Structure 1
């Protein structure tokens, strides 16, 4: 293990600690009345709990690693240039945070939401943590050292036929409308795969691919905080993640297609 890898092992452990602390606060506030604010429309929401979770994680990082940069959804989400930041990425270590991925699920009491923390070095993901505080499932990955769920190694599933694949997708708020690209894509996959799920938290959906529960996942219009941890999870679990052209996925890409690898070309062709 080289010096960078030793540092990144510690960073991953700290990210897990920050995610668990934020998760405890989220769960403690679930039964209390929420102040819900629309960001762009009724499908794009934020609560004071999202902001609290973000503040906890940002403060812990700033206290322990003041030399690292931070990008998080509620603080930096107004920046339309978040993808551009990774065309010429900042040097050194950075933390990319989604304080509650799946806010609508959280608001409605559906136990499919997570704190997602991705750590990059020179723009490349090297550590990732995704924590569901409702199920206490902690997914973690370090580049070159595999992916884990609560300390147990996870791998993508071996399914080789798209017709037997269970897939998932999602909508950005602007695409929750008739005749959106996502609706068309689901239609194209109808009858071509076993089923398509819309679960509402991209970071966890990527972890479900990494752990073999889903065979593939795709999504248009994602931001770096949605995927920085989950992409590494799939790669370290033996899967494949590309953009719509089939090139290796970068945090500057807005479209993500992820799979176990075996069905990737077939899925990409239909999408």
Structure 2
């Protein structure tokens, strides 16, 4: 194991530890009244638990890795240039975190939300952790070393026919409205795929593709903190991730299409 591999192995171990610590805090709030704020509309929400989780992650990372940069949803989410930041050269190690991906699910006690931590070096994804503290499912990956669920190696499924594929998508808060383009996209798959699910946490949806429970996933308007960890986990599980035009996915993209690889071109053609 060379020096870079040792460093990244330690980074993954620490990211896992941080995610589990934050998960314990999140679970402790599940039965307590929550203070809920609307950021933009009734579907775009933040709670004091999001902010607490973010603060814990920031404190741990800053203490252990003061030379690393960070991007986080609640701190940087108001920036219109969250994607554009990745059009510029990014040097060194950086942490891209979502303290609770799926806040609306969390508020309603729906057990599909996660802490997402992606780590990049010189613009390349090197580590990813996605942790659902309710189900105690921890997905992780390190570049070149496979993807795992609770220590077990995972792979994408081998389905090659769209008609047998279970797919998923999601809405950004601003897109939850009549005549949304996502509704029209779902309509294209009606009767052509096995079904389409909308469960509301992109980081976990990507991990479901990585572990073979879903065959494909697409989403418009995601941000780097939504996908950084999940993209690496899919890639290390043998899947494919592009933008809607079919080019390899970059964190500067705002469209994402992920699959087991076998149905990818078909998925792109329907979109």
Same structural fold, with TM-score higher than 0.5 when normalized by the shorter chain: yes
TM-score for the superposition, normalised by structure 1:
0.99
Task: Tell me the equivalent position of 1:88.
Answer: 88
The reply on whether 1:9 has 2:13 as its aligned counterpart is no
Using the alignment, how far apart are the partners of 2:72 and 2:203 within structure 1? Answer: 14
Using the alignment, how far apart are the partners of 1:89 and 1:172 within structure 2? Answer: 27
1:3 Cα offset (Å): 1.6
Using the alignment, how far apart are the partners of 1:230 and 1:44 within structure 2? Answer: 21
CA deviations on 1:97-151 (whole Å, 9 max, x unpaired) are: 0000000000000010000000000111110000000011000000100000000
The reply on whether 1:63 has 2:63 as its aligned counterpart is yes
The reply on whether 1:31 has 2:31 as its aligned counterpart is yes
Equivalent position SS for 1:241: strand
Task: Tell me the equivalent position of 1:132.
Answer: 132
1:221 Cα offset (Å): 0.1
CA deviations on 1:10-45 (whole Å, 9 max, x unpaired) are: 000000000000000000011110000000100100
Task: Tell me the equivalent position of 1:206.
Answer: 206
CA deviations on 1:36-73 (whole Å, 9 max, x unpaired) are: 00001001000000000000111000000000001000
The reply on whether 1:116 has 2:116 as its aligned counterpart is yes
Stretches (4+) displaced over 4 A: none
Using the alignment, how far apart are the partners of 1:50 and 1:89 within structure 2? Answer: 29
Using the alignment, how far apart are the partners of 2:44 and 2:122 within structure 1? Answer: 31
1:89 Cα offset (Å): 3.2
Equivalent position SS for 1:111: coil
The reply on whether 1:153 has 2:144 as its aligned counterpart is no
TM-score for the superposition, normalised by structure 2:
0.99
Task: Tell me the equivalent position of 1:222.
Answer: 222
Larger deviation, residues 235-244 vs 81-90 = 81-90
Using the alignment, how far apart are the partners of 2:151 and 2:224 within structure 1? Answer: 25
Task: Tell me the equivalent position of 1:254.
Answer: 254
Using the alignment, how far apart are the partners of 2:80 and 2:13 within structure 1? Answer: 31
CA deviations on 1:144-202 (whole Å, 9 max, x unpaired) are: 00000000000000000011000000000111011111111001111110000001000
Unaligned runs of 5+ in 2: none
The reply on whether 1:183 has 2:194 as its aligned counterpart is no
1:2 Cα offset (Å): 2.3
Larger deviation, residues 83-92 vs 44-53 = 83-92
1:6 Cα offset (Å): 1.3
Using the alignment, how far apart are the partners of 1:201 and 1:28 within structure 2? Answer: 20
Task: Tell me the equivalent position of 1:237.
Answer: 237
Task: Tell me the equivalent position of 2:102.
Answer: 102
Count how many residue pairs are aligned between Structure 1 and Structure 2: 271
Task: Tell me the equivalent position of 1:195.
Answer: 195
Using the alignment, how far apart are the partners of 1:158 and 1:80 within structure 2? Answer: 38
Using the alignment, how far apart are the partners of 2:249 and 2:3 within structure 1? Answer: 26
